[in-house]
Amino acid sequence: MRATELLAPTLREAPADAEVVSHRLLLRAGFIRRVAAGVYNYLPLAVRVIKKIEQIIREEMDRQGGQELLMPILQPAELWQESGRWDVYGPELFRLKDRHDRDFALGPTHEEIITTLVRGEVNSYKQLPLLLYQIQNKYRDERRPRFGLMRGREFIMKDLYSFDRDEEGLQISYLKMHEAYTRIFQRCGLRFRPVEADSGAIGGSETHEFMVLAESGEASVLFCESGACDYAANVERAAQVSPPEKVKDNLKNIAEKETPDCRTIEEVSQFLGIAAQDIIKTLLYETEAEAVAVLVRGDRDVNEIKLLNTLGCLRVNLAGEETIRKVTGASRGFSGPVGLKGIKIIADLEVASIINAAAGANKDNIHWINVNPGRDFSIDIITDVRMVEDGEPCPCCGQKLKEARGIEVGQIFKLGIKYSKLLGATYLDEGGKVKPVIMGCYGIGVTRTMAAAIEQNNDQDGIIWPAAIAPFHAVIIPVNTKDAGQTALAEAIYARLAAAGLETILDDRAERAGVKFKDADLIGCPLRITVGAKALTERQIEVRVRRTGETTMIPEEKLESAVLELLKEL
């Protein structure tokens, strides 16, 4: 590609509203332009990267026996009504009407469509297993579209659905996808971790998220620091190690203490001179059905996902002032479990074994001290209901957990019979018995992966593409375009590298060399080939590695092999 023919409008300054580095660099390097919130034009450079990521995905899906198909983005409401998701999906679903006033949705995901397809076409065990996938635009009216391609409202996703006869089959499909995802993100040159994630309240299904490790990640993950153990979990899911049983002797007498205006754990701790971990934090939550009290140690936070799963409800929200007063008789900041009536009490494992703790007294400006569970109040459910923190022991091996930020680039999920049951996708087994098809779903955000790659690979000068997904392998820069010898040599190199199967940009613009160098760094192709005066006199070509800034002089005749060799490492 010649730079004079390429639409890659680079910008000196980053637009002010771009918060993360991938967003800034994609705009500055001329890869994307915004059309609306979370909706972008992908310019030619971006399309080249997207195609490379898609190609890697295709190869790995096909390697596992996946078959590519293409389903409609425009989906009739009837299918969503049949699965029940027309009502529960909420405002994230883009909805529209056709000229006959019929309801449609733009696909945010394709379980309804594919399950209906399989319902119609598969009826015997002989047709299973099946792995079907597509790569196409998805639509989600995200509450906060942001960070450029990271959280768009229109984005490109690969979604694969597996159909099996039984749980064993599903396990095989799941492991195939786990392996495929690992290979895909490795081949893309990313540092990532598969982490256990929460599968929701719908019952023991397994799910992993593939997280690219980067400071700007919206997710928090905990992983075991010991090299021997590979435990890693989304913080929503990470399990605490049961606290050691405490010997329950030396129980002191419970007593009331005035705590004027002390509402936060910190204020109570300071005023009473009691460590936060010896205070019981009592939080009132409301579900769609009831109010509940949740107890965690004063230095801990409630994990609302664990709470949701414990209660098996649809939503949990912190109760407002009015509910707090109604339930406890006191204002916010003085709730406690002692004497609390008519409400379920859920205590974290650590609270169950606490002794002589402080807790709110359900009276304004008063706390109890020397509160002991069992003796002073009873607990309805004792369970792990708190957030696990950096430095805590690993639930697998007991070594330390470390917290890191991650970008979710993919997720694999065992669906079981959820959709096949709702939509009636069944097959006849070997004995002629009707059985529901067992499903899994597996997504990769293609455009998000492109952004995540930049989050991990950049410096002050611009993007540094891993060679496997770079838009071009190299940029060829004639230093002085007025010098006929230099331009002719650059042209010759351009033709030779193309013949060797290499993709390059020939920067044939009549710009100063400095401008071209800057743009080359910004766009971030792995190699820069500079054709200057020396190239002509000494027949040595300067090749510079974008990532390290190292330059090597290569004899002109060895250029192709040297470039191919260098790319292997990048």
What CA–CA distance (Å, rounded) separates 257 from 367? 5
Non-local CB neighbours of 566 within 8 Å, separated by 6+ positions: 526, 527, 543, 545, 552
Chosen residue from 109, 335, 411, 458 binding Mg ion by CB under 5 A: 411
Report the residue number, 180 or 522, with the smaller CB distance to ligand ATP.
180
For ligand ATP, give the closer residue by CB, 136 or 372.
136
Pick 115 or 411: Cβ nearer Mg ion: 411
**CB 209, min distance to Mg ion, A:** 6
Tokens read off for 27: 């705009």
**Nearer Cβ to ligand ATP (447/486):** 447
Q: Least distance from C-beta 509 to ligand ATP, angstroms?
A: 33
Interface stretch with Mg ion, choices 109-117, 247-255, 369-377, 403-411 (CB under 5 A) = 403-411
Residues 6+ apart with CB under 8 A from 265: 276, 279, 281, 298, 299
State how far the alpha carbon of 12 is from the alpha carbons of 164, 251, 337, 479, 522, in Å. 53, 68, 60, 21, 10
Identify what 155 binds: Mg ion, ligand ATP, none; CB under 5 to 8 Å per kind: ligand ATP
Angle between helix 44-63 and helix 167-187 axes, rounded to 10 deg: 140
Q: Is the peptide bond before 194 cis (omega within 30 degrees of 0)?
A: no
Beta strands in 60-191 (DSSP E): 67-68, 74-76, 94-97, 103-106, 130-139, 154-164
Judged by CB under 5 A, the number of residues near Mg ion is 1
Query: Least distance (Å) from ligand ATP to the CB of residue 336?
Result: 35
Give the DSSP letter string of 26-57.
HHHTTSEEEEETTEEEEPHHHHHHHHHHHHHH
Q: How far is the CB of 108 from ligand ATP (least distance, A)?
A: 8
- State which residue, 208 or 473, has the beta carbon closest to Mg ion: 208
The least CB distance from residue 191 to ligand ATP, in Å, is 16
- What are the structure tokens assigned to 194, written together? 């598969």
Cα separation, 318 vs 307, in Å, equals 12
Q: Which of the choices Mg ion, ligand ATP, none does residue 152 contact, using the CB cut-off of 5 to 8 A by kind?
A: ligand ATP
Report the alpha-carbon angle 270-276-278, nearest 5.
115
User: Could you please report the per-residue DSSP string of 516-532?
Assistant: HHHHHHHHT-SEEEEE-
Question: Which of Mg ion, ligand ATP, none has residue 462 at its interface (CB below 5 to 8 Å by kind)?
Answer: none
Partner whose footprint covers residue 151, from ligand ATP, Mg ion, none (CB < 5 to 8 Å by kind): ligand ATP
Q: Which residues bind ligand ATP (CB under 6 A)?
A: 109, 140, 142, 151-152, 155, 157, 408-411, 443, 445, 447-448
Q: Coil, strand or helix: which one is 317?
A: strand
Binding segment (CB under 5 A) for Mg ion, from list 1-9, 76-84, 365-373, 407-415: 407-415
Interacting span for Mg ion (CB under 5 A) from 110-118, 385-393, 404-412, 417-425: 404-412
CB 175 within 8 A of CB 453: no
Residue nearest ligand ATP, Cβ-based? 445
Residue 159 in tokens: 């979604």
Q: State the first-to-last Cα distance of the chain, in angstroms, to the nearest integer.
A: 21
H helical segments located in 364-466: 418-423, 446-456
- Residue 448 binds: one of ligand ATP, Mg ion, none (C-beta under 5 to 8 A by kind): ligand ATP
The minimum distance between CB 207 and Mg ion, in angstroms, equals 8
CB of residue 70 to ligand ATP, shortest distance in Å: 17
Smallest separation (angstroms) from ligand ATP to the CB of 34? 14
Residue closer to ligand ATP (CB basis): 164 or 408: 408
Q: Which residue has the tokens 């006191």?
A: 330
Given ligand ATP, Mg ion, none, residue 532, with its beta carbon under 5 to 8 Å by kind, binds none
152 or 462: CB nearest ligand ATP: 152
Binding range to Mg ion, per CB under 5 A, among 275-283, 305-313, 362-370, 405-413:
405-413
Phi-psi region of 425 (alpha: psi -120 to 50; beta: other; left: phi over 0): beta
* Alpha-helical segments (H) within 227-301: 265-272
Q: Cβ of residue 469: shortest distance to ligand ATP, in angstroms?
A: 15
Question: Shortest approach of Mg ion to residue 445 CB, angstroms?
Answer: 9
User: Which segment (120-128, 147-155, 411-419, 514-522) binds Mg ion by CB under 5 A?
Assistant: 411-419
What b-and-e string marks burial along 357-390, b requiring 16 or more CB atoms within 10 Å of the CB? Answer: bbbbbbbbbbbbbbbbbeebbebeebebbbbbee
Residue tagged 């009826």 (tokens): 123
Kindly state the smallest distance separating residue 427's Cβ from ligand ATP, in Å. 26
Q: What's the closest the beta carbon of residue 448 comes to Mg ion, in angstroms?
A: 10
Kindly write out the interface string for residues 359-398 of this chain, putting x where it contacts Mg ion by CB under 5 A and - elsewhere. ----------------------------------------
CA–CA distance, 211 with 309 (Å, rounded to integer): 23
Going by the DSSP 8-state scheme, the letter that residue 91 receives in this structure is G
Residue nearer to ligand ATP on the CB measure, 319 or 409: 409
Of 116 and 447, which CB lies nearer to ligand ATP in the complex structure? 447
In the complex with ligand ATP, the residue whose CB is nearer, 157 or 279, is: 157
Interface with Mg ion (CB under 5 A): 411
